[in-house]
């Protein structure tokens, strides 16, 4: 009996790791083709470090400076759909547009956006933020006004701090009244790089 068990166990250990990886990639390409993938994501290199990008059928839903992949994927699985799959192809356009932006060749991203991760007042603030033109800035107070509540400057600041779509929704173009740079969730150094790139500051 032991002989048979050994034979079964050993025979099962054919080295096929690589074939499994390829099979998985081919399968997910087909899955995307069939519309079975609700959220596609990929990691994109940039001058500001590694960016996590995710999109739905509606458009870019998440762009974030990322350290740890697990919490950001878990959040998407929870708040959008558990059908979250890695896909280089689906995020290819986003990657290209970002590359062109950082090379100074592009001022408008022209990407469809999915704002489902921000609702209500936060959503209105961020949609208004998406309309701030390249190289221009507005104040937190202005944003509050655009979102329909002049008195909600701090809330506007919080909305911008929670922006799920960094860079493309340009919360970096929002400064304090009086010109003080204000804050930036990714770290002020990144905000400065972006404002320098857009020639807002030296």
Residues forming the active site: 171
| Choices 13-21, 60-68, 132-140, 184-192; region in contact with another protein by CB under 8 A | 13-21
Q: Burial level of 162, CB count in 10 A (0-12/13-18/19+)? A: middle
Stretch that binds another protein, among 28-36, 144-152, 177-185, 188-196 (CB under 8 A): 28-36
Per the CB < 8 A criterion, the answer to whether 53 and 41 are in contact is yes
Residues 135-154 contacting another protein, CB under 8 A: none
Q: Pick the closer one to another protein by CB: 57 or 74.
A: 74
Backbone angles phi, psi at 8, to 5 degrees: -65, -45
Of residues 162 through 181, those in contact with another protein by CB under 8 A are none
Q: Residue 26 or 150: which CB sits closer to another protein?
A: 26
Stretch that binds another protein, among 5-13, 44-52, 96-104, 112-120 (CB under 8 A): 5-13
Contact between 188 and another protein (CB under 8 A)?
Answer: no
CB nearer to another protein: pick between 3 and 119:
3
# binding residues, another protein (CB under 8 A): 40
Output the smallest distance, CB 53 to another protein, in A.
14
Q: Site residues for another protein, window 32-61 (CB under 8 A)? A: 34, 36-37, 39, 41
Among positions 85, 93, 111, 192, the unique one binding another protein when judged by CB under 8 A: 85
The Cα–Cα gap between 72 and 50 comes to 14
Tell whether residue 24 is a contact of another protein (CB under 8 A).
yes
Which residues contact another protein by CB under 8 A? 1, 3-12, 14, 16-17, 19-21, 23-24, 26-28, 30-31, 34, 36-37, 39, 41, 73-74, 76-78, 81-86
């Amino acid at each position: 009996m032991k002989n048979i068990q050994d034979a079964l166990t050993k025979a099962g250990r054919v080295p096929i790791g690589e074939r499994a990886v390829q099979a998985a990639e081919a399968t997910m390409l087909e899955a995307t083709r069939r519309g079975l993938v609700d959220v596609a994501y990929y990691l994109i290199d940039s001058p500001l470090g590694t960016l996590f990008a995710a999109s739905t059928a509606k458009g870019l839903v998440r762009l974030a400076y990322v350290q740890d992949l697990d919490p950001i994927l878990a959040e998407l699985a929870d708040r959008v759909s558990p059908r979250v799959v890695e896909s280089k192809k689906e995020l290819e356009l986003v990657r290209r547009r970002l590359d062109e932006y950082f090379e100074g060749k592009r001022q408008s991203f022209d990407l469809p956006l999915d704002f489902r991760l921000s609702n209500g007042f936060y959503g209105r603030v961020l949609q208004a933020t998406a309309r701030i033109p390249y190289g221009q800035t507005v104040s937190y107070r202005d944003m509050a006004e655009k979102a329909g509540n002049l008195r909600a400057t701090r809330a506007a600041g919080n909305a911008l701090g929670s922006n799920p779509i960094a860079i493309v929704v340009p919360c970096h173009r929002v400064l304090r009244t009086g010109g003080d740079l204000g804050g930036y969730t990714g770290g002020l150094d990144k905000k400065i790089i972006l404002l320098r790139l857009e020639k807002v500051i030296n």
